Amino acid sequence: MTKPIITMINFKYISILAVLFVVTGCSKGGSTGDGGSTDTNTTTTIGLPASFAKGADISWVTQMESAGYKFYNNSGAVEDCFQLMKDKGMNSIRLRVWVNPSNGWCNKADVLAKAIRANNLGMKIMIDFHYSDVWADPADQTKPAAWVGQNIATLQTSVYNHTVDVLSTLKTNGITPVWVQVGNETNDGMLWEEGRASTNMANFALLVNAGYNAVKFVNTSIKVIVHISNGYDNSLFRWMFDGLKANNANYDIIGMSLYPSTSNWTTLDGQCLTNMNDMVSRYGKPVMVCEIGMDVNSPAIANSFITDIITKVNSVPNGNGLGVFYWEPEAYNWQNYSMGAFDNSGRPTTAMDAFLIN
C-alpha cells in the first residue's frame, strides 16, 4: 500500500466477494461508528492450523510511543502494544526496514528493538525489506540515497549486503524471522529505474535473487516472499510471476495486499480466492496476505472482512494459504492514516476481535 506520511496518501481500493463467516461486535463504544471498542471476545472456530499466521505490521509503534502515544485494552488499562496484539489472537508481527531513513525510524536499530519485543512474547516475525530510505510501493520504488548511480551488478551487491547485515544483527540477538519479504509491493519491480519490471524483468529477477541468496545465507529455513498489491488481480499476478519464472527468480511464497472499501469488499473476495488458488496451481508456491486494512470508522464491517479473508486463505488446498497480516492496526490519530483498527481513545475496535478466530 502507498503509506501515508504527513500528506502522502494513495490508497488502493480492493473489493472482495462471498462472506462465509461473520463475527459481529455486540456493544458500541468510543467514537468508531458501527462497532465500537467493547471487547466481545467472540471466537469463531474454522480449524486453523497452529502454523497459520494471524498478525499485524505495527512498525509505527516505537515512533508513536516516542510521540507520547499509549495503547489501551478494552477495559481502558494501558497495555504494551505487542501484548495487545497477542491478546487479540495474533501470533505474528511484521516489521518494515528502510536502509537509511532520515528520521531513524524503521532503520536497523529500530527494527531490532521491535523484533526483540515480539520475540520475547513468542511471536513469529516477518521482516519486510523496502530497499529504500522511504516508502516503497506500487507508485514509488526509490533507490536509497547511498545506492544512487549504481549499476545493476552493484545494486545486487547492495541488496545482498544490506539484507545480510539486518538479518545477521537479528541473528546475533537470538532472532530468526520466519519470513522475509525481498521488496514491498513490487508491482513493477524495485530500485527504479534499473529494477523496473515492465522495462527489465530480468534485472528485477536478479535483485530478487540477490535478496533470496542473502536470506538463505543467514538461515536456510527462512521463507522468502515476493509481495505485490491488488490480490484480486489475477492478470497482474500472472504477468509478474510468469516474468519471474521466465527469468529464473527464486522465492518461496507469493505475498498479496488487500485494501477493500466498506461498500465493495464482498464483490472481489471470490476473485482473490480464485487468484490464490491459481498462484498455487500455476507456480507451486503457497500464498500469504501480507497486508489488509479497512476504514477505521466501520469496525463491524472490518471484522466481517477479516474473518472472511482469514477463512478464505485457510481454505486454499493442502495448507497453501499461510496467513493474514493487518497493516498498522494500532495507528490512531496518526499520520493521516484512516485504516487502522483502534479507536480515537487508543483502544482496539471490534475489528481486532476477528483475529480471535481459530
- Verify whether residue 79 is a known catalytic residue: no
DSSP per-residue codes, 319-349: GTEEEEEEE-TT--S-TT----SB-TTS-B-
- The C-alpha cell at 31 is 467514537
Q: Of the residues 79, 194, 291, 328, which is catalytic?
A: 291
- Cβ atoms within 10 A of the Cβ of 266, count? 17
Active site residue 291: yes
DSSP string over 73-139: -TTS-B--HHHHHHHTT--EEEEEE-SS-TT-TTSHHHHHHHHHHHHHTT-EEEEEE--SSS--BTT
Q: Which of 79, 185, 194, 328 is catalytic?
A: 185
Closest to 147 measured CA to CA, from 129, 132, 127: 132
- Which helix (H) or strand (E) is 291 found in, with range? strand 287-292
| Residue 357 identity (one-letter amino acid) | I
CB-side neighbour CA atoms (13 Å) of 208:
32
Number of Cβ within a 10 Å radius of residue 246: 11
Cis omega (within 30 of 0) on the bond before 291?
no
Q: What residues are annotated to the active site?
A: 185, 291
